[in-house]
Amino acid sequence: MSSQFRTMPLSAKALLAATPYSYVLLDADLVVQAASTAYLSMTGTTEAELLGMPVFEAFPPNPDDPNDGMTRVTASMRTALTTGATHAISVRYPIPDRDRPGRYMNRWWRISHSPYRDGDEIVGVLQHSLDITDHVTSVRDASIRERLIDKMSDIAFWEFCPTQGTAIVSAAQSRMFELPPAAGIVPALPFLERYLPEDRDRLIADFAALEDAEPGAAIDGEYRIRLPDGSIRWLLLRGDLVRESPGDPASFVGVSMDVTRAQDREASLARTVAERDHLLEQKQLLLDEVNHRIKNSLQIVSSILNLDANVAAGDEARTRLRGAAARVQAVASVHELIYKAGQVTTVELCGYLEDLCRTLQASAQGTVSCDCDEITFSTDKAISMALLVNELVANAFGHAFGDRTDGHVTVTGRREEDALLLCVTDDGRGKPASSGKGLGTRVIAAMVMQLDGTMEEGSAAAPGQQESDVADGSRTGHRVLVRIPLDP
């Protein structure tokens, strides 16, 4: 210790111990002589830890903190000792955390140093310390918030008392409304007059609806103001009702946020969506028109081929021309279905096959029936499907019935997991063993390949009936089964 412990008058020690304020008595060498209970509590120390200790050994500065607090406190003490006058400072001085050795607690202090006399001689200094950390940090935080808010022109604070017609506003609020610079208590009317009439009435009604509500009731809404240049600005108001005591008039504290840019983006997006919908509608109309014209053009081609078939010389030429006309008509039926359904990318397979079978029956010597599950099929595969069904049905009527006019062909479509099972069955005499590789057969193979499908052929005979029965006129029939993968 750098100084011998000085015995102080009992009356002075008793007075220091009794005071409810934070005092510590130091001698001329800045050694602690006495401390009030409030001081010990504030610093988290005991008399045993302080008495007889140099003050800066009891409260060593943080070596990792480049703070000059110790220098300033020492200078203030020396000033009181040398001038005989009280000296006061506000200073940041971290003190050791007694519960966590080696750690420091950041503290702000308001300190006054008064000379302590023994007769005419100044023998020490009486330090009064007030911990102002909470005050300093709250002021600092408020200042930071104000600076940030001041830089953010789209956020402003306000407090509004409807019954008094006054408001407490930040400078940012005045700027937001383009009113003369003002901060503090101001008349509310100039701000209210900026609102569009219908929005002003709605805002006043919103405030009035909460006047009798419990504290904490919230107002939250978007309102428009008109600036002097005629431009419209959208504000989002959010605030809470506060009431100092029951019976006091309602007051609202909140913020105004300029959401004009968000509103403009929303309006622009709405316009863009409307324009897109209009363009899509136009596109759909154009596609419908294109499909309609393609269908008409293909029907004309089909009709011309049928006319040529009627005047062609020779059965083979007529057969080929009529086959070509049927294929063209099958493709035309796809385009007709597309424009009638108003779809561009998909078709409903069931209705499509039923229409196609009706068309095929109109030119067949017999009947065609259709039974299909509700399955959606992509339009890019629909044309291949139309040509495939057309060829399978045409082959049945061309080879299965001979001179019969009561032949029947059944077309079915069933969903099995992720595939379509397309089956074309006739009740004819079965496929001849000498069946060749005609154009129809080649078209069928090409369409199955385009559809990424697989094909199986066989007898459609009932259980127990043999294919050999064909020779004596029995109707074993023929079945073609095509498995086509569906789009995921």
C-alpha 233/C-alpha 258 separation (Å) is 7
At the fourth CATH level, the homologous superfamily of domain 10-136 is PAS domain (3.30.450.20)
Considering the chain, what percentage of its residues have pLDDT values greater than 90? Answer: 30
Please determine, for residue 327, whether its predicted confidence score (pLDDT) is greater than 80.
Answer: no
Q: What is the pLDDT of residue 295?
A: 67
Domain 152-258: give its CATH code: 3.30.450.20
What mean pLDDT value characterizes the chain?
82
pTM above 0.75, yes or no: no
pLDDT digits (tens, 9 = 90+) for 234-243: 999 998 998 8
pLDDT mean over 319-329:
74
Beta bridge partners of 234: 224
CATH of domain 345-488: 3.30.565.10
pLDDT of residue 341: 58
78, 32, 22, 36: which is closest to 52 by C-alpha? 32
Mean pLDDT of 416-431: 87
- At residue 19, φ and ψ (nearest 5 deg) are -70, 140
Segment 45-60, tens digit of pLDDT: 998 999 999 999 999 9
pLDDT for position 462:
47
- Check pLDDT > 80 for residue 458: yes
- For residue 287, give both structure tokens: 């596609």
